[in-house]
Amino acid sequence: MLELKETERVTELVGKRDLQLRDVAVIWVLLSHTSSYSGRIQVTAAGIANDLQVNDSEIRASLARLKKHHLLRQIRDRNTGERYYRLNPWMVLTNSGGSLFGLACKEFGEA
């Protein structure tokens, strides 16, 4: 299970037109691909585009806006080199509670 926090910031950014409604849809798709244990999101921009039935370029623009407003980071696993996304851990908490929260914050801050 995922727990959402700080959603007012997303609403505020949409209201100020810094984020678009499509960006909220991208967050929703990212949530659907989020591991409830680790918080890692194993999906590509093409996968998100396929889920939303839009062009990859539109998704890349949405991802860029989410990164700009510190809601999303793309991280490379130090051991495997694999890339994955992570939503801001202050916005999305996972089942693991405090056990992985510190790691999530560290990874998010370093990216």
Nearest by Cα to 71 from 26, 38, 37, 33: 26
Q: What is the spatial distance between Cα 49 and Cα 83, in angstroms, rounded to a whole number? A: 18
Q: What average pLDDT does the segment 91-108 reach? A: 64
CATH ID of 3-110, from 1.10.10.10, 3.40.50.300, 3.20.20.480, 3.30.365.10: 1.10.10.10
Q: What is the pLDDT of residues 61-93, one digit of tens each?
A: 999 999 999 899 999 988 999 999 998 877 776
For the whole model, what pTM was predicted?
0.81
Q: What is the spatial distance between Cα 63 and Cα 65, in angstroms, rounded to a whole number?
A: 5
Indicate the domain borders of the chain: 3-110
Higher pLDDT, 106 or 61: 61
